Amino acid sequence: MAPSSGAFLISAKSIQHVKIPPMDYDDFIWFIKEREKLRFQKEIGIPLQSSDPILNKTHFLNIHIKYDAGTIRIHKFIADLTDWEKLFYIFIYRTVYSTPRLLKDLTGIWFHDYRNIKLFKWKIHTDRQPYYFHVGKNSSLHQFLMTISLPVMKQFWSSFTKYKEEEIIDVEEELSALFALHTGRRKMKLLSSILVQDLAIQFPEKINPDSICRISIDAKQALKLLPGGRSDRKMEELRHSTGLNYSSLNRALGQWWQYLSRKKYYEEHGLFRDEWLI
C-alpha cells in the first residue's frame, strides 16, 4: 500500500516551518520494502517495476550505504591496503568526488605518499568544489586537498589508531571539529558523516556501525510525521521493527521525506523536476 500524500515541496530555509499531517508506520515500512525491491531489480539487471511513479521515475539513495556504487567502488579498491592507505584513499575519494574517473586516476598515480600529491592537479574551481565549500577565489581541488583534506586526515590518524568500538556520533563530532579548525568557517558536518560511514564499514572493530549517528534535517522532519513521543523513542521502535541500524534508518527516513515531497509536487503539477529523474 503506497503512503497517502501530505508533505510539501519546500526549500531548505522553510523546512522547519511547514506543518505536515501525521503518517502511519506502515507507510514508512512500505517505502523501505519498495525501495529495496527496486534496488534488487536494478542489481540483477531487470527493468524497474513499481506501480508507484515517484519511485519508478525519480532517483533515491539506497537504504543501505554499502549498496551505493561509490561505496562499493572505493571499498573494493582499498581492500588489500594498509590501514593508513585505506584512510588516505577514503579521504581523497570522499572529499574530492566519488567518481569512477577519480578512482581510475588514483590507480594510475597511486600517491599514498605526500611527496606524490603534486601529481594531482585537476583544474576544477570553487563553483564545483565538493559540498559547496570554497577554499578561496579560483582555488582548485588540488588546493582543497592540500589545505583541508590531508591536514585533517593527518591529525585524525593519531586518534584513529587508538579507536576501539567508538560511537559513530563521537567520531563525527571529532571530524567536524577538525574541519572547522582548518576551514575557519562551517564544520562541514555532511562530509564528516559520509567519511564516518565509510570508516565504520571498513573498520567495524574501531567504529561500531550499529551505534547512534547524527540525524539529518530530512530524517527529523520525517520522524515528526510518525505517531508517538520523543524522536529517540521513535528511532528505537523503528530500529526494532525494521532491523536497520541508525545510519540506514537515518538514510531511509531522509529518502522517505523526499519521496513525500516529490509525490505532492507530482500530484499538483503532473511532472517531475529534471534533477529528480533517474
pLDDT tens sequence across 130-143: 554 555 555 566 67
Predicted confidence (pLDDT) at residue 162 exceeds the cutoff of 50: yes
**pLDDT digit string, tens, across residues 70-94:** 899 899 989 999 999 999 889 988 8
Mean pLDDT for 152-161 is: 96
Buried b / exposed e across 135-172, counting CB within 10 Å, b at 16+? Answer: beeebbbbbbbbebbbebbebbeeebeebeebebbebb
What is d(CA 226, CA 26) in angstroms, rounded to the nearest whole number? Answer: 10
Q: Where are the domains of the chain?
A: 66-202
Residue carrying the nine cell digits 583534506? 149
pLDDT recorded at residue 237: 93
Instruction: Flag whether pLDDT at 56 surpasses 80.
Output: yes
The residue-averaged pLDDT of 144-164 equals 91
Q: Is the pLDDT of residue 10 over 50?
A: no
Q: How far apart are CA 41 and CA 223, in angstroms?
A: 28
Residue 166 bridge partners (DSSP): 207
The answer on pLDDT for 62 being more than 70 is yes
Q: What is the pLDDT of residues 31-54, one digit of tens each?
A: 999 999 999 998 898 887 888 999
pLDDT exceeds cutoff 80 at 127: no
Q: Which pLDDT score, from 0 to 100, does residue 155 have? A: 96
Query: What percent of the chain shows pLDDT beyond 70?
Result: 77
CB 43, CB 235: distance < 8 Å: no
The pLDDT mean for the chain works out to 81
- Higher pLDDT pick, 192 / 127: 192
Half-sphere exposure of 191 (CA within 13 A, CB side): 28
Considering only CA atoms, which of 123, 119, 95 is closest in space to residue 107? 119
Q: Give me 259's grid cell.
A: 519521496
**Residue-level pLDDT at 116:** 53
For the record, the C-alpha cell of 272 comes out as 517531475
C-alpha 168 chain-centroid distance: 14
Q: Which residue has the higher pLDDT, 122 or 213?
A: 213
DSSP string covering the chain, please? Answer: -PPPP------TTTGGG-------HHHHHHHHHHHHHHHHHHHTT-----S-HHHHHB----SSGGGSHHHHHHHHHTTTS-HHHHHHHHHHHHHS---HHHHHHHHHH---SGGGGGG------GGG-GGG---STT--HHHHIIIIIHHHHHHHHHHHTT-SSB-HHHHHHHHHHHHHHHHSS---HHHHHHHHHHHHHH-TTTB-TTS--PPPHHHHHHHHHSSSS-HHHHHHHHHHHH---HHHHHHHHHHHHHHHHHHHHHHHHSS--GGGB-
pLDDT at res. 9: 30
Q: What pLDDT does 80 receive?
A: 92
Contacts for 82 with CB less than 8 Å, ≥ 6 apart: none
pLDDT tens digit sequence for 263-278: 989 988 999 999 999 8
The residue with greater pLDDT, 231 or 114, is 231
- The predicted model gives 239-251 an average pLDDT of 95
Q: Please state the rounded mean pLDDT for residues 120-131.
A: 48
Burial 187-214 (b: 16+ CB within 10 A, else e): bbbbbbbbbbbbbbbbbeebbbbebbbb
